[in-house]
A and B are shown apart, each in its own frame.
Chain A
Amino acid sequence: MFAFIVSRLLQALPVMFTVSLISFAMFAYVGDPVVIMLGQDFTEAQRQQLIRDLGLDQPFFMQFATFLGNAVQGEFGLSYRLSRPVAELIAERAPATLELAFTAAFIALAVGVPMGVYTGLYRYSWLSRVFLTFSLIGVSLPTFLIGILLILTFSVWLGWLPSFGRGEVTRIGWWTTGFLTWSGIKALVLPAITLGLFQLTLIMRLVRSEMLEVLRTDYIKFARARGLSNRAVHFGHALKNTLVPVITIAGLQLGGIIAFAIVTETVFQWPGMGLLFIQSVGAADIPVMAAYLMLIALVFVTINLVVDLLYYAVDPRLRIGRGRGH
């Protein structure tokens, strides 16, 4: 088990190295940071001074090594746009994005899995047809449109929920949470639904097709032939066998939710990392973009590791080398 984790971590290293190379390349090839930072009026002396300060007169590999060394320590320099340390900016915004992403993922799983099980079990019921039609809408409507429609309905027409921001947040150490205040929770509802709807429909359709597959297997027939209750057959035996692919997709989707919350955060002016990123792109704020890229890569690598560990927990056939059996 330990060896497995270590080997997966070692596999993650080249991935992170490659991503950091790409991040670093942005400094060299996307715009000229010196010009961006100096603005319109500067003297040649100021320019040379800044080039030395930024270490741009060093050879490429030296610069990359410095970048890498700093990155490992969470040090990404100053934001060109806000002139504050990038790490601080991201740490400030991360709680908003993470709370939004996990709420969206929770909604997607908590609603998508039962709906998938239901439509798998009662294929021809009218409710299944309603769910499937609804899922088609969820899959095909773009996120920004869903967000705008929700705002129109629940904020403009009904006036029940706020249309932007996080509401009141509570500070716990460096983390800020919106879960503890009523206005924070109300502010979370629409963006979380917007962000989670696509994943929800995807998970529902996945669980449905996996259930249909599993319900045809011999061991389900045998479980019925043993007289087990429907509940035991459907949830104990069938659902558990659909979990491996569902975990895979749900894990990748969670990464996607965190990484691509950008659209939702823009629509709802959600003060998260996505909004920070899109604003940074607008201002060619390369340190923020580079740090964001590396952070997202780290998130994906971590999620993949967790997914692999969950396989272990779910499927005993993957626990090789336990020294028993034939």
Chain B
Amino acid sequence: MSLLQVRNLRVEFPTRRGTLVALDDVSFDIAPGEVLGVVGESGAGKSMTGAAIIGLLEPPGRIAGGEILLEGRRIDNLPYERMRRIRGREIGAIFQDPLTTLNPLYTVGRQLVETMLTHLPIGPAEARERAIGWLEMVGIPAARERIDSYPHEFSGGMRQRVVIALALCAEPKLIVADEPTTALDVSIQAQVIALLKRLAREKGTAMMLVTHDMGVIAETADRVAVMYAGRIAEIGPVREVVKRANHPYSQGLMASIPPLDRRVERLAQIEGAMPRLSAIPKGCAYNPRCPRVFDRCRRERPDLMPAGATLAACWLYAPASGEGHAP
């Protein structure tokens, strides 16, 4: 059975000028121990999906439809206090900027101990020993001495390691990692990703890895979901999506990764920009930018449908459609 099931998730933001639909009909599963990469442009709803899963949508954002199940139990409608016990204990989270995610006034040891004491049936002495163990595990040198250091005494990369230790220390089954390397130096990014990948495999932790770095996805994820304007455009095994993307948007996204093995005159790019949430076009949201757009795309909105080895929300793959034509 899937560890996490997201079913037809819809997130809305009520505003003065009407309701914005930030996520619409988003469905996917994550199996135990699996790494699901989520990619897309800024504003596509990647981080929003993560926030909805850990139950920390920024008000006035709210889940307006669909459901989220963790090991078969619904968690999207739990009262705050019940959901709080799940956060950290069953679903951990890693945020983008390690410089701002640690409380500057407490030592890293205190923050680790505090998290473990909240969730695990252990005493302070045991928690401190485990905290040292976690710091060692995430590769902080001289962990026993550094445990009483404050966040500002660590570099950015080291701080993100501390954040990873904090997310993992209560041994959750799922980690929602929201752009965990975006704020880091390029030279540090690979180390942190390798660490995250190794720890997830060792602990059997599943991961939802939100990023717009295709390299990170290709390196780490088992499956990948491509998001566009609050919906999933394509989802499938990482190899398929990277090498043989079916949705025209995923194809464009993959084509925009600059090749290293040959010189290119110009970097490939997708024309235009993603629509604002208040102005999502009728039919397929991608239709104004799509090179293979046809009539039906402007009228009806496609749902995910089988396309080769992946699922793509694209009328090109509509079964027995008179207007569609095979790619």
* Residues of chain A whose beta carbon lies under 8 Å from any beta carbon of chain B: 217-219, 221-230, 232, 236-237, 240-241, 314-317, 324-326
7 tightest A-B CB contacts, nearest first: A325-B153, A227-B88, A225-B93, A227-B87, A218-B100, A226-B88, A222-B101
Cα separation A326 to B101 with both chains bound (whole Å): 19
* Complex contact B104–A316 (CB within 8 A): yes
- Contact yes or no, B154 A241, CB < 8 A: no
Residues of A within 8 A of B149 (CB): 324-325
Which parts of B137-179 form the interface with A (CB within 8 Å)? 149-150, 152-155, 163, 166-167, 170
Within 8 A of A (CB), among B194-217: none
Please state if B88 and A326 are interface contacts (CB–CB under 8 Å): no
B26 contacts chain A at the CB level, 8 A cutoff: no
- Check if B119 is an interface residue, CB within 8 A of chain A: yes
Chain A residues near B104 (CB-CB < 8 A): 219, 241, 315-317
Kindly name the residue among A224, A229, A314, A317 whose own CB sees the greatest number of chain B CB atoms within 10 A. Answer: A224
CB distance from B22 to the nearest CB of A (A): 17
Does B276 belong to the interface (CB within 8 Å)? Answer: no
Asked whether A315 lies within 8 Å of B153 as measured between CB atoms, the reply is: no
Q: Establish whether residues A222 and B95, one from each chain, have CB atoms under 8 Å apart when the complex forms.
A: yes
Q: Which residues of B contact A (CB under 8 A)?
A: 54, 56, 80, 84-89, 92-93, 95, 97, 100-107, 114-115, 118-119, 149-150, 152-155, 163, 166-167, 170
Whether A326 contacts B155 by the Cβ 8 Å rule is yes
Q: How far is the CB of A179 from chain B (nearest CB, A)?
A: 34
Q: B95 is contacted by which of A221, A232, A240 (Cβ under 8 Å)?
A: A221
Residues of B within 8 A of A316 (CB): 104-105, 107, 150, 152
User: In the bound complex, how far is the Cα of B79 from the Cα of A24, in angstroms?
Assistant: 68
Contact A222 B93 (CB under 8 A): yes
Given contacts A317-B150, A326-B153, A326-B155, contact A225 B95 (CB under 8 A): yes
Inter-chain contacts of A230 with B (CB < 8 A) = 80, 84
Q: Give chain A residues whose Cβ lies under 8 Å from the Cβ of B93.
A: 222, 225-226
Asked if A241 contacts B105 (CB within 8 A), the reply is yes
| A315, B119: Cα distance in complex, Å | 27
Find A217's partner among B88, B100, B114, B115 (CB 8 Å cutoff): B100
Assembly CA distance A219 to B105 (angstroms): 11
Once the chains are docked, how many angstroms separate the CA of A325 from the CA of B170?
Answer: 27
Given A219-B103, A324-B149, answer yes or no on A225-B118 (Cβ-Cβ < 8 Å): no
CA distance A117 to B115 in the complex (A): 23
Q: Determine the distance from Cα of A316 to Cα of B104 in the docked complex, in whole angstroms.
A: 8
Contacts of A218 in B (CB 8 A): 95, 97, 100-101
Chain A residues with CB below 8 A from B85, complex form:
227
Are A317 and B152 in contact (CB-based, < 8 A)?
Answer: yes
Are the C-beta atoms of B105 and A222 separated by less than 8 Å?
Answer: no
Chain B residues whose C-beta falls within 8 Å of the C-beta of A232 in the assembled complex? 114, 118
- Additional pairs, 13, CB under 8 Å, beyond known A224-B56, A314-B105, A326-B153: A218-B101, A222-B93, A222-B163, A224-B84, A225-B87, A228-B114, A228-B115, A228-B118, A237-B103, A240-B105, A241-B105, A316-B107, A325-B154
Distance, CA A316 to CA B150, complexed state (A): 7
* Chain A residues near B105 (CB-CB < 8 A): 240-241, 314-316
Provide the bound-state CA to CA distance between A224 and B166, in Å. Answer: 12
Judge whether A227 and B103 touch: CB under 8 Å: no
Cβ distance B111 to chain A, nearest Cβ, rounded Å: 8
Query: In the complex, which residues of chain A have a beta carbon less than 8 angstroms from the beta carbon of B154?
Result: 325-326
Chain B min CB distance to A319 (Å): 9
Q: Which residues of chain A are within 8 angstroms of B107 by Cβ–Cβ distance?
A: 316
Give 16 pairs: A residue, B residue, CB < 8 Å, sorted on A: A218-B95, A218-B97, A219-B102, A219-B103, A224-B87, A225-B56, A225-B167, A227-B89, A227-B170, A228-B84, A228-B88, A241-B104, A315-B104, A317-B152, A324-B149, A326-B154
Neighbouring B residues of A315 by C-beta, 8 Å: 104-105
Q: How many whole Å from A81's CB to the nearest CB in chain B? A: 52
* Chain A residues whose C-beta falls within 8 Å of the C-beta of B170 in the assembled complex: 226-227
Nearest chain A CB to B291 CB, angstrom units: 39
Please name all residues of chain A whose beta carbon is closer than 8 Å to the beta carbon of B114 when the two chains form the complex.
Answer: 228, 232, 236
A223 touches B118 (CB 8 A): no
- The distance from the CB of A48 to the nearest CB of chain B, in whole angstroms, is 67
B152 touches A221 (CB 8 A): no
Cα distance, A166 to B155, chains bound together (Å): 58
Q: How far is the CA of A217 from the CA of B103 in the complex (A)?
A: 9
CB contacts (< 8 Å) of B56 on chain A: these are 221, 224-225
- Nearest chain-B residue to A216 (Cβ)? B58
